[in-house]
Amino acid sequence: MTLVCFTNPWGFVDNSRDERNMLKSWREGLVFFGFAGRFRFFRDVILKGSLGKYFLPETSDDNGMGYLMRQADREVSAREQRMSQEGFSQERPDFLQLCLEARMDGKPLTAMQKRAHVTLLIQAGADTTGTALGSTIRFLLTHPSVFARVRAELAAASDANLLSTPIQFEETRAHLPYFVACIKESLRLHPPATNLFGRVAPSPDGKVVDGTWVPAGTEITSNSYVVQRDPHLYAPDPEAYRPERWLEDEGNSKEHIIEMDASAFVFGVGPRVCLGKDLAIMELYKLLPEVFRQFDFEMTEKGEFVVVGGIAYNERFVVQLKPRK
């Protein structure tokens, strides 16, 4: 995500480590994140008051989220300085450049807005998408018949010269339907963000939700982990990893598949849908099939799917990759 944000990676992949404990810090803060995200009084009154400094990271921190904020400020300042020089040209557009060129009512974003946008993309996009990638890999490795079918589909599409190198997003959608079904099924069973932010019932009359009146001002939410296991919608096996449920060729009606798609809200729904949804889907559709085409996988630690503060991640999940011959 630092590559997408700033063009320059921060070393996570090259050094094979959690740089400055940013990931560790993010996960340690998930309990607080979940609490603050669900209690408006705490978020709107406590955090914005004098007590907020005891809960939030500082840019003076040498590690963790505080370091992320400081480094984001440095990246913004360095880019703005280069932009002020004559003949500046950003050869490869990145998210930071889009933020610097953005205008609201004809005015550039404030320094706080610029930092907020780039840090949010890194925080919200790195670990959550990584969870989706990891969960899909683990489901495939623990379901050999499914994995064999994925391999066969990839091989057939490659032999027919239907796939580029690297694989393109539209190629996955058009030529790897079973692989797409595997991704959908992984997101259904292991949503990276299980509990979405609440919505407030409108004034003055409140809202009727599924036959139940909710008074005005009441905050309500829904849990994708539960909803996406609905025993009626996903009958007869809502807990099973069965990608075939998403395919018409497997005897499922088009109408039922559309209903399942509409009920899958791992990225949220409506005007507050996740802004990074398209980027996350593109990563899943491009990276996963290419990695499976290029490497053999051996799972050395199965690990487990952990949910903390409404955010999920895979703990102690380890695989070894070997180039395919």
293 near 168, Cβ under 8 Å? Answer: no
pLDDT at 40 over 80: no
Domain ranges of the chain: 1-109, 132-325
- Rounded distance between C-alpha atoms, residue 3 and residue 14, angstroms: 12
Q: What is the pTM of this model?
A: 0.91
Q: Tell me whether residue 182 is annotated as binding.
A: no
Q: How confident is the model at residue 99 (pLDDT cuts 50, 70, 90)?
A: very high
- Mean pLDDT, the chain, whole residue set: 91
> Reduced to 3 states, what is the DSSP secondary structure of residue 231?
coil
Q: What is the pLDDT of residue 177?
A: 98
Please choose, from the candidates 218, 188, 183, the residue with its C-alpha nearest in 3D space to the C-alpha of residue 203.
218
Q: How confident is the model at residue 85 (pLDDT cuts 50, 70, 90)?
A: confident
Q: What is the pLDDT of residue 279?
A: 92
| CATH code assigned to 132-325 | 1.10.630.10
Q: How confident is the model at residue 107 (pLDDT cuts 50, 70, 90)?
A: very high
DSSP track, 127-177: HHHHHHHHHHHHHHHT-HHHHHHHHHHHHHHHHTT---SSPPHHHHHHH-H
Question: Mean of the pLDDT values across residues 197-211?
Answer: 88
User: How many helices (H) and strands (E) in the chain?
Assistant: 14, 10
Selection from 43-52, 128-137, 212-221 with the highest mean pLDDT: 128-137
Question: Mean of the pLDDT values across residues 229-252?
Answer: 96
- Rounded distance between C-alpha atoms, residue 198 and residue 308, angstroms: 17
Question: Mean of the pLDDT values across residues 69-87?
Answer: 89
Q: What is the pLDDT of residue 53?
A: 81
pLDDT at 182 over 90: yes
Q: What is the pLDDT of residue 41?
A: 79
Q: What is the pLDDT of residue 150?
A: 98
Residue-wise pLDDT tens digits, 136-179: 999 999 999 999 999 999 999 999 999 999 999 999 999 999 99
Question: Mean of the pLDDT values across residues 241-259?
Answer: 96
| Greater pLDDT, 39 or 174 | 174
Q: Hey, what are 118's tokens? A: 């780039």
| Greater pLDDT, 143 or 43 | 143
